[in-house]
A and B are shown apart, each in its own frame.
Chain A
């Protein structure tokens, strides 16, 4: 008897370890097939429908033609944009003072460090606040200073009617006086106080002046070595995914300086023990409201806690009035409280990304921690577009009003939308809005497990590409991040901001598509097929074809015309770890207008394309734009590329910082001479380059 004939009366199912025979009579089938068919048809029909809500009309404003070689400027509302400083990477608000013109919000002293810029100090004058309470500052005024430019532990305080910049380390506190007329701090400290008792590195401090004493509160780490001693190719985690290094806990110290003798009154003493749960100390600020006093302590992960003045070893979590925990949204470098003549309850945060003002609600939690309103971003007028560092822009018509907008990923893991209220030729961008999925701001982060360790948990490095993946007429988003996997955010078409569905993982035969981290995938449509390129586990360009909504098919590694694979890294060795692999921003773009998708690639300064040994830009040994074009030289509409050519501006190299650049071809500005380019950079700005100002440097 044909064994298959036996199936009708008996179903024999072989499991991996046992055989079970089940008779048909024992199997109860689902409801009627017709009912099921109808149900399924309804489901398919519903899913096919995307009925976008009618688009809201926004009033047009006069925009500004972008300037080639410069970051795109904010135009709307007088150029209102989050506070940022040139090409710097991080901001430390060092102090504040109320001017004679306003007691609503103070002026700010800000230190800007890192990135492609030199360390700088600025005075930002408060202008006004927006409707939602965001303080707005004028153009930053450079302030001259003469202490070590690497020093970030700086606090500006008022003392006997004078302003001082206090620069603190374990051994010394230097007091530099302020000159209002010169907008400068003194060349040498007016007072220099030797210190003792601070056992570990200083990460932040607060100074409270009372009578003839300056009370210092200092947060330090615990001296532990963070990174484990592992090889360049080894992971930082054990096989249970537990970090092998040491998470640095916070220690808090206190001491006073006699302002008459300018001497430390007593050796600094630890006041908090080891605050075991607050890893990665970054800042401390006084809190005083009525009879309640204590300290607000923050870590670099964006966590903010409260220590009551009477029980300094007890850490209380802080919350917002909404009940949500305080999440500073970006890497937090510093806290500064706002002293309103003794009441010291509001505070600013700053770090890598947007600075925020937290306003005290007047309430306390059951455990005595102050409760705050939802923080508002610190803004400036007439500034550059800014939403966070390491921007990854897409210049697309996101809101389907036939004008190009910008959708950009940031290092803090959020996706910003800059609506264009002008035209493509003269865009008028406003302050960023952050895209949401199911009512919650999209925030992509690797979390505890990150290639550089848990202390990078404040970062996401989300690298989005905007593309209509399901071809329903509304743009969707695919992205990678420091979590590496490729994910899809479908656009439900019903809103411009809260329009995304929960993320779906893109898979290869069911397993999440994996490769190297922090890569913006390149996506394009060729014929009827959609293709996606990433850097695979070999850090080589790899092509996949969309097979279904969430599955792709392997099309193999992408090759150069001579058949060579294309990798992006330099050789591993001293100073070159595996974590520098990946970190490239790809874009399929028909740069030469021949109908075939070329590849724009933005990389870090240590990347090496297309091969380890003599690839660029690393082998060039010079600072450059770190944006390349790989021309598609396929004869049959495929994906075969020429050796990379490095972009230059005005026939020369420009440098926008060591991090990965994110190029995006665009038709902003004057595009009559060809499509232009916007490049996202370390400082988060969007640098516009007119086509005719760009040239391609051939190496091979």
Chain B
């Protein structure tokens, strides 16, 4: 292309014999190491994979590796890659990736592996001053004292499939959160990913994990554990080891119901609570209905039946199928939270959903039938019964200071928190698609 008149000067020419350089390409950038006289191309794809092809023979593509034989995997899907031009040396070796998640910088080590691919250090986050807390996209927070220091922290899943720990270095009233530290299990970073088989197909499943964790002391040993679902749908538990480091989770264990794995709808954050010494969990079952289970052992639950409203009806979360513009994959996705919102001593249910969610039924449920514009898609179901016998009133949709709040089209993920001023009751923290955590004071939330 001419930069004088901005016209195309030559026809495109295929420079690599193979058309299978990388599967599902998204990112592509130029590499140049002037000192070594090496030129080439860097590729990235939606499945976080990165490759290099030398300009001498662009048909041969090698994985970018860590020098120890393992390919580098970007923490999130790659939409774009771009090398940084060093004006002093003319090199274009360090590069940035971006996608649905954070920006990452890969610094060139100056060396090449046995296949001639440049070696890079592990990715570094781009940080920004005075920036809101960021946990990747579609964050699913839980506010708990994870490190048992008496101060509430945040544990959050994200669309990448990782689980972040934001340590609070200050107080509950005026928290000061640090950078995300990603939790590990048995020496490996936790990474949920459905892969090839996923509700929305391999394109989706290979790129994302949509891990939706909740936190509770599942095994009663005094150490908090993770109970979670994801785009794999199954419910899994990872026991906390109390190691005090990021590598603090045991292996993933699937929750079963009478010998078979507990199954329901995908991307649902299970609600968990303890009642009279027993642990209960709510999930969306195979009918996309709210369903209660009771923990019976480390890896099993028993069925306590579908949750009911005061009129006796079950509560489903989807709109009518005729109105669904996508596959049944829009079902599930709800983020459930047990919480005594009104302070009456009885556990209620708070649900975060997308705009397409329709609780308690397809005909007139919320938030889908509430209005035609995107809104604060967090609803409240008051428990009109008891903790032992939950019966819920018709859902109400939260409003913030009587105005509409747009947190995006994906399901919002609420959790109660005792951060800030709790004199009016527990406050609400809502994770959303942008990766931000929105704080709402109890007194500012109405119906």
The answer to whether B62 touches A547, judged by C-beta atoms less than 8 angstroms apart, is yes
Q: How far is the CA of A577 from the CA of B84 in the complex (A)?
A: 53
Q: Which of B62, B258, B331 has the most CB of A within 10 A?
A: B258
A301, CB-defined interface residue at 8 Å: yes
The answer to whether B23 touches A323, judged by C-beta atoms less than 8 angstroms apart, is no
The answer to whether A28 touches B127, judged by C-beta atoms less than 8 angstroms apart, is yes
- Taking CB atoms, residues of chain A closer than 8 Å to B87 are 5, 7-8
Query: In the complex, which residue of chain B has the Cβ closest to the Cβ of A443?
Result: B254
The answer to whether B66 touches A510, judged by C-beta atoms less than 8 angstroms apart, is no
Q: How far is the CA of A22 from the CA of B188 in the complex (A)?
A: 33
- Taking CB atoms, residues of chain B closer than 8 Å to A400 are none
The answer to whether A26 touches B70, judged by C-beta atoms less than 8 angstroms apart, is no
Q: How far is the CA of A340 from the CA of B117 in the complex (A)?
A: 71
The answer to whether A28 touches B128, judged by C-beta atoms less than 8 angstroms apart, is yes
Pick from B68, B70, B103, B250: contact of A438, CB below 8 A.
B250
Pick from B195, B259, B288, B299: contact of A299, CB below 8 A.
B259
The answer to whether B195 touches A511, judged by C-beta atoms less than 8 angstroms apart, is yes
Query: In the complex, which residue of chain B has the Cβ closest to the Cβ of A14?
Result: B80
Query: In the complex, which residue of chain A has the Cβ closest to the Cβ of B250?
Result: A438
Known A240-B332, A277-B257, A470-B69; judge A33-B302 contact (CB<8 A).
Answer: no
The answer to whether B23 touches A509, judged by C-beta atoms less than 8 angstroms apart, is yes
- Taking CB atoms, residues of chain A closer than 8 Å to B85 are 4-5, 7-8
Query: In the complex, which residue of chain B has the Cβ closest to the Cβ of A316?
Result: B302
A30, CB-defined interface residue at 8 Å: yes
Q: Which of B207-229 contact A (CB under 8 A)?
A: 219
The answer to whether B96 touches A447, judged by C-beta atoms less than 8 angstroms apart, is no
- Taking CB atoms, residues of chain B closer than 8 Å to A323 are 219, 297-298
The answer to whether B96 touches A11, judged by C-beta atoms less than 8 angstroms apart, is yes
- Taking CB atoms, residues of chain A closer than 8 Å to B63 are 547-548, 551
Q: Which of B49-103 contact A (CB under 8 A)?
A: 49, 51, 61-63, 65-71, 73, 79-80, 82, 84-87, 92, 96, 98, 103
The answer to whether A485 touches B121, judged by C-beta atoms less than 8 angstroms apart, is no
- Taking CB atoms, residues of chain A closer than 8 Å to B127 are 27-30
The answer to whether B188 touches A502, judged by C-beta atoms less than 8 angstroms apart, is yes
The answer to whether B69 touches A447, judged by C-beta atoms less than 8 angstroms apart, is no
**Closest approach, in angstroms, between the C-beta of A246 and any C-beta of chain B?**
12
B363, CB-defined interface residue at 8 Å: no
Q: How far is the CA of A43 from the CA of B187 in the complex (A)?
A: 12
- Taking CB atoms, residues of chain B closer than 8 Å to A258 are none
Q: How far is the CA of A551 from the CA of B195 in the complex (A)?
A: 14
The answer to whether B68 touches A44, judged by C-beta atoms less than 8 angstroms apart, is yes
The answer to whether B49 touches A507, judged by C-beta atoms less than 8 angstroms apart, is yes
Q: How far is the CA of A11 from the CA of B68 in the complex (A)?
A: 31
- Taking CB atoms, residues of chain A closer than 8 Å to B327 are 239-240
Q: How far is the CA of A556 from the CA of B200 in the complex (A)?
A: 27
Q: Which of A134-142, A324-332, A635-643, A683-691 contacts B (4 or more CB under 8 A)?
A: A324-332
**Closest approach, in angstroms, between the C-beta of A318 and any C-beta of chain B?**
8
- Taking CB atoms, residues of chain B closer than 8 Å to A365 are 296
Pick from A4, A447, A514: contact of B260, CB below 8 A.
A447
Main secondary structure of the interface of B (DSSP, over half): loop
Pick from A305, A454, A508: contact of B23, CB below 8 A.
A508
A554, CB-defined interface residue at 8 Å: yes
A440, CB-defined interface residue at 8 Å: yes
Q: How far is the CA of A1 from the CA of B164 in the complex (A)?
A: 42
Query: In the complex, which residue of chain A has the Cβ closest to the Cβ of B69?
Result: A549
The answer to whether A510 touches B261, judged by C-beta atoms less than 8 angstroms apart, is no
B263, CB-defined interface residue at 8 Å: yes
B196, CB-defined interface residue at 8 Å: yes
B45, CB-defined interface residue at 8 Å: yes
The answer to whether A448 touches B250, judged by C-beta atoms less than 8 angstroms apart, is no
B266, CB-defined interface residue at 8 Å: yes
How many A-B residue pairs lie within 8 Å, measured between CB atoms?
227
B434, CB-defined interface residue at 8 Å: no
The answer to whether B47 touches A509, judged by C-beta atoms less than 8 angstroms apart, is yes
Q: How far is the CA of A512 from the CA of B198 in the complex (A)?
A: 12
- Taking CB atoms, residues of chain A closer than 8 Å to B251 are 437-440, 502
The answer to whether A457 touches B22, judged by C-beta atoms less than 8 angstroms apart, is no
The answer to whether A549 touches B98, judged by C-beta atoms less than 8 angstroms apart, is no
The answer to whether B20 touches A37, judged by C-beta atoms less than 8 angstroms apart, is no
Query: In the complex, which residue of chain B has the Cβ closest to the Cβ of A528?
Result: B114
The answer to whether B296 touches A317, judged by C-beta atoms less than 8 angstroms apart, is yes
- Taking CB atoms, residues of chain A closer than 8 Å to B69 are 470, 548-549
Known A13-B103, A240-B331, A484-B197; judge A302-B261 contact (CB<8 A).
Answer: no
Query: In the complex, which residue of chain B has the Cβ closest to the Cβ of A440?
Result: B251
The answer to whether A27 touches B126, judged by C-beta atoms less than 8 angstroms apart, is yes
Q: Which of B222-254 contact A (CB under 8 A)?
A: 233-234, 250-254
The answer to whether B98 touches A13, judged by C-beta atoms less than 8 angstroms apart, is yes
The answer to whether B259 touches A302, judged by C-beta atoms less than 8 angstroms apart, is yes
Query: In the complex, which residue of chain B has the Cβ closest to the Cβ of A332?
Result: B259
The answer to whether B197 touches A449, judged by C-beta atoms less than 8 angstroms apart, is yes
The answer to whether A501 touches B296, judged by C-beta atoms less than 8 angstroms apart, is no
Q: Which of A207-228 contact B (CB under 8 A)?
A: none
The answer to whether B234 touches A509, judged by C-beta atoms less than 8 angstroms apart, is no
Query: In the complex, which residue of chain A has the Cβ closest to the Cβ of B299?
Result: A325
The answer to whether A239 touches B206, judged by C-beta atoms less than 8 angstroms apart, is no
B329, CB-defined interface residue at 8 Å: yes
- Taking CB atoms, residues of chain A closer than 8 Å to B109 are 37, 40
B401, CB-defined interface residue at 8 Å: no
The answer to whether A505 touches B195, judged by C-beta atoms less than 8 angstroms apart, is yes
**Closest approach, in angstroms, between the C-beta of B425 and any C-beta of chain A?**
33
Query: In the complex, which residue of chain A has the Cβ closest to the Cβ of B187?
Result: A501
Query: In the complex, which residue of chain B has the Cβ closest to the Cβ of A556?
Result: B20
Q: How far is the CA of A324 from the CA of B20 in the complex (A)?
A: 48
Q: How far is the CA of A510 from the CA of B86 in the complex (A)?
A: 30
Q: How far is the CA of A391 from the CA of B157 in the complex (A)?
A: 39
Q: How far is the CA of A4 from the CA of B251 in the complex (A)?
A: 46
B436, CB-defined interface residue at 8 Å: no
The answer to whether A327 touches B259, judged by C-beta atoms less than 8 angstroms apart, is yes
Known A438-B186, A440-B251, A447-B254; judge A550-B20 contact (CB<8 A).
Answer: no
Query: In the complex, which residue of chain A has the Cβ closest to the Cβ of B48?
Result: A510
Q: How far is the CA of A510 from the CA of B63 in the complex (A)?
A: 10
Q: Which of A1-41 contact B (CB under 8 A)?
A: 4-5, 7-8, 11, 13-16, 22, 26-30, 33, 36-37, 40
Q: How far is the CA of A373 from the CA of B128 in the complex (A)?
A: 56
A190, CB-defined interface residue at 8 Å: no
The answer to whether B65 touches A548, judged by C-beta atoms less than 8 angstroms apart, is yes
Known A28-B128, A40-B121, A511-B23; judge A457-B71 contact (CB<8 A).
Answer: no
- Taking CB atoms, residues of chain B closer than 8 Å to A305 are 258
- Taking CB atoms, residues of chain B closer than 8 Å to A328 are 259
A110, CB-defined interface residue at 8 Å: no
Known A30-B124, A507-B49; judge A448-B258 contact (CB<8 A).
Answer: no
Pick from A300, A448, A454, A547: contact of B234, CB below 8 A.
A448
Q: How far is the CA of A458 from the CA of B297 in the complex (A)?
A: 19
A48, CB-defined interface residue at 8 Å: yes
B328, CB-defined interface residue at 8 Å: yes
Known A5-B87, A278-B258, A299-B258; judge A512-B125 contact (CB<8 A).
Answer: no
Pick the 10 closest A-B CB pairs, nearest first: A303-B259, A510-B47, A301-B259, A510-B49, A325-B300, A548-B71, A317-B296, A240-B328, A303-B258, A509-B23
Q: A447-B254, A549-B69 are in contact. List 15 more A-B contacts (CB 8 A).
A: A30-B125, A40-B66, A239-B327, A240-B328, A303-B258, A305-B258, A319-B296, A323-B219, A447-B234, A454-B260, A484-B197, A501-B186, A501-B188, A509-B51, A550-B71
Query: Which A residues contact B (CB, under 8 angstroms)?
Result: 4-5, 7-8, 11, 13-16, 22, 26-30, 33, 36-37, 40, 43-44, 47-48, 238-243, 276-280, 299-305, 315-317, 319-320, 323-325, 327-328, 332, 365, 437-440, 447-449, 454, 457-458, 470, 484-485, 501-502, 505, 507-512, 514, 547-551, 553-554
7 contacts between A and B (CB under 8 A): A40-B122, A48-B68, A277-B257, A280-B259, A447-B261, A510-B45, A512-B196
Query: Which B residues contact A (CB, under 8 angstroms)?
Result: 20, 22-24, 45-49, 51, 61-63, 65-71, 73, 79-80, 82, 84-87, 92, 96, 98, 103, 105, 107, 109, 121-122, 124-129, 185-188, 193, 195-197, 199, 202, 206, 219, 233-234, 250-254, 256-261, 263, 265-266, 286, 288, 296-303, 327-329, 331-332
